[in-house]
Structures are given as C-alpha cells and as structure tokens.
Amino acid sequence: MNRFKIRHENISGEVIDNELIIINLAAGTYFNSTGAGPLLWRAMKQGADMQQAISFLATKSREPTVFAALAQNWVDTLVCEGILMADDAGEGIEEYITDQSDISSVEPPVLEKHNDLEDLLLYDPVHDVNDLGWPRKA
C-alpha cells in the first residue's frame, strides 16, 4: 500500500513557514520536519501515492537515490511512531506530480521527535489537580 492517512484524531499536523509541525496529543510528543517533509505531508493529505511522490521529488534532488531512501525512512518512521497508517480504502490523486512541477530543487526530509512537552501535552487540568485546584497538580 502506498497511500497513508493520519492514524487518529489526536494527531494534528500543520505546515508553517515551510516547516511541518506534528503533535500527537495521545502520546504527548511532537515532531518537526524540514526539507521535503512538508511536501510529503501535503502529498499524503491529498491522498497521493507516496512512492510516486517520493520518486518525483527525488528527481528534483541533487542525490536522487539518497533522497528516495531518506524519504522512505521518513514515511516509515511516521508509521512506526503511530502518526500515519496505510489507507487501503483511500483514493488518491495522481495529479500531485504535475501540480508540483514548479519545484526546482528539494532537500531530503528531516524529522525530529521531541517529548520535552510531554507532561504539558498530557496534563488534564480538570482531573489532574489536587484539592486546592488549578494550577496545582495532584
């Protein structure tokens, strides 16, 4: 299967200034991705065949073989982290390739995982307080 979707509603991803930010509220982790990461995320959200998207973007890279391997690793990591899952029923768009024809050069995707906000992201201010109330944690 070459199409993917976001695993569940507790995951949100947004591209801001050519950087992808993904937050997993269920796990309390977040990721940031640069290079081709935002392009791959948009392709996934549009239902594109990821192998085709990776192959196309690799042709715009200085080192196509290295790019393809790193891009596939990017997808595999997001699947292993529970962010993405295969979309067997998904109908993709094949126009992604032609829609992105204005791309002249692209760098391999870089993905960084952070859990330094885990306590804050998992904190439930309604239930995780002591008898004195907010903002005192139980």
> In this predicted model, what pLDDT tens digit does every residue of 38-59 receive, in sequence order?
999 999 998 889 998 999 999 9
Task: Find the mean pLDDT for residues 117-123.
Answer: 57
Helix (H, G, I), strand (E, B) or coil at 121: helix
Q: State residue 2's pLDDT score.
A: 86
27 or 68, higher pLDDT: 68
Bridge-partner residues for 12, per DSSP? 23
Helix ranges (DSSP H) in the chain = 37-45, 50-59, 64-80, 96-99, 118-122
pLDDT for the residue 26: 84
Given this model, what pLDDT does residue 135 score? 56
- Is the pLDDT at 16 greater than 90? The verdict is yes
% of residues, the chain, pLDDT over 90: 53
Mean pLDDT over 66-72 rounds to 97
For residue 14, what pLDDT is reported? 95
Looking at residue 54, its pLDDT comes to: 93
How many Cβ atoms are within 10 Å of 129's Cβ, its own excluded? 15
Domain map (residue ranges) of the chain: 4-122
| DSSP structure class, residue 129 | B
Whether the CA torsion 17, 19, 22, 23 is positive or negative: it is negative
Q: What is the pLDDT of residue 78?
A: 97
Residues 71 and 40 sit within 8 Å (Cβ to Cβ): yes
Which whole number is the average pLDDT over 94-106?
Answer: 64
What pTM does this model have? 0.79
For 71-87, the pLDDT digits (tens) are: 999 999 999 999 999 98
